[in-house]
């Protein structure tokens, strides 16, 4: 992992949050990695990015972690959204248990395979497990059916396919993987 530091974003870092997201959406894997297009993200006003950074920097609802290199460049990111029991998820389905939901997983192509993704996931899970009242029972994520590389990484990290599949409008599908909270 070189000399990277994995840490939560700060609210005032909205421009870096925006820049990294746009870089992620330019990645060749973006069509099967993200449910957002580059054009849609570029069209968002600065207020959106300010709110996004602020919401991912504090509170219980979300936390974004970045892998910051010694040169200050952000080389990767993951965000944990907290889905509370009794709410509705991104796909419009009821959330039956309080859980974390990993989204926005990205590591720059030239940094892949060096441990950044593992470090980002470890930080994200550590934060999710630290939450109280109620504590998340599990952390989940969705992976596009054609994103075999990501699915292999998630399995190596300890995520297990739940069997839930969500059909996408473009004919593709997203498959759910879960990581159950370890018993203390």
- The candidate with the shortest Cα–Cα distance to 133, out of 60, 56, 54, is 60
Query: How far is Cα 91 from Cα 173, in angstroms, rounded to an integer?
Result: 12
Q: Strand 138-144's sheet: what is its strand order?
A: 5-8, 62-68, 74-83, 99-107, 138-144, 173-180, 160-167
- pLDDT per position in the chain (184 positions), as tens? 578 999 999 999 999 999 999 999 999 888 888 889 999 999 999 999 999 999 999 999 999 999 999 999 999 999 999 999 999 998 889 999 999 999 999 999 999 999 999 999 999 999 999 998 888 999 999 999 889 999 999 999 999 999 999 988 888 899 999 999 988 6
**Residue 80 contacts residue 63 (beta carbons within 8 Å):** yes
Nearest to 120 by CA among 70, 58, 63, 76: 76
Q: What is the pTM of this model?
A: 0.94
Rounded to an integer, what distance in angstroms lies between the CA atom of residue 81 and that of residue 58? 12
76, 111, 121, 183 from 179: Cα distances, Å: 21, 25, 11, 12
């Amino acid at each position: 992992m070189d000399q990277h530091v994995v840490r939560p974003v700060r609210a005032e870092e909205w421009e870096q949050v925006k820049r990294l997201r746009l870089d992620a959406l330019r990645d060749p894997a973006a069509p099967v990695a993200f449910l957002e297009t580059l054009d849609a993200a570029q069209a968002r006003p600065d207020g959106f990015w300010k709110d996004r950074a602020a919401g991912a920097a504090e509170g219980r609802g979300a936390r974004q972690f970045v892998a910051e290199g010694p040169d200050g460049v952000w080389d990767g990111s993951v965000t944990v959204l907290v889905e509370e029991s009794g709410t509705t998820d991104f796909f419009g389905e009821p959330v039956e248990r309080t859980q974390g939901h990993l989204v926005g997983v990205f590591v720059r192509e030239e940094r892949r395979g060096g441990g950044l993704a593992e470090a980002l996931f470890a930080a994200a899970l550590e934060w999710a497990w630290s939450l109280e009242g109620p504590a998340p029972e599990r952390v989940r994520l969705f992976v596009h059916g054609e994103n075999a590389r990501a699915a292999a990484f998630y399995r190596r990290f300890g995520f297990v396919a739940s069997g839930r599949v969500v059909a996408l409008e473009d004919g593709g599908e997203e498959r759910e993987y879960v990581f159950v909270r370890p018993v203390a």
